[in-house]
Amino acid sequence: MAQAARIPLFEREVRERLSQAAIEVLFESAAVLAEGSLGAGATSAAQFFGSVMVTIELDDLAGLVREAPTDDTARKLSELMSGDARVLGRLRRLAEAEATRLCGRPVRVHSADVRIHADGTRILVDIDLES
């Protein structure tokens, strides 16, 4: 008869997520480009339609972070950013601030389509927004 193996009482799980300090550094180093305008909406209030592009150059962060600025680092970072509610919330607030700057009046974003991907050692964020 085969002897039963001893079973472990605990399972281990390793998870990685962005540190708060990393999020701060990423946004501080980001280059932001925004475009858009007010258009006639169905109501008397004009709607804003536009896009915000955010570029983060990992090479610029080499002296601040432990990880090397490689394509793999950028790919992993873009995946973690895409699933992080803190990052997505910050991007939404950034988009609202840019829309407000462009319009010269407060803009509340109702719809924001966020796409985050890596291109070499760069993180590219595209946000299409509508108020």
Mean pLDDT calculated for residue range 39-65: 83
Instruction: Supply the pLDDT for residue 44.
Output: 43
Instruction: Supply the pLDDT for residue 13.
Output: 92
Nearest residue to 95 via CA among 79, 112, 78: 112
Instruction: Supply the pLDDT for residue 118.
Output: 98
Residue 41: pLDDT over 90:
no
Mean pLDDT calculated for residue range 120-131: 95
Instruction: Supply the pLDDT for residue 108.
Output: 87
Q: How would residue 48 be classed by pLDDT, with cut points 50, 70 and 90?
A: confident
User: What number of other Cβ atoms are within 10 A of residue 92's Cβ?
Assistant: 16
Range of the domain at 110: 20-130
Mean pLDDT calculated for residue range 13-37: 94
**Total number of domains in the chain:** 1
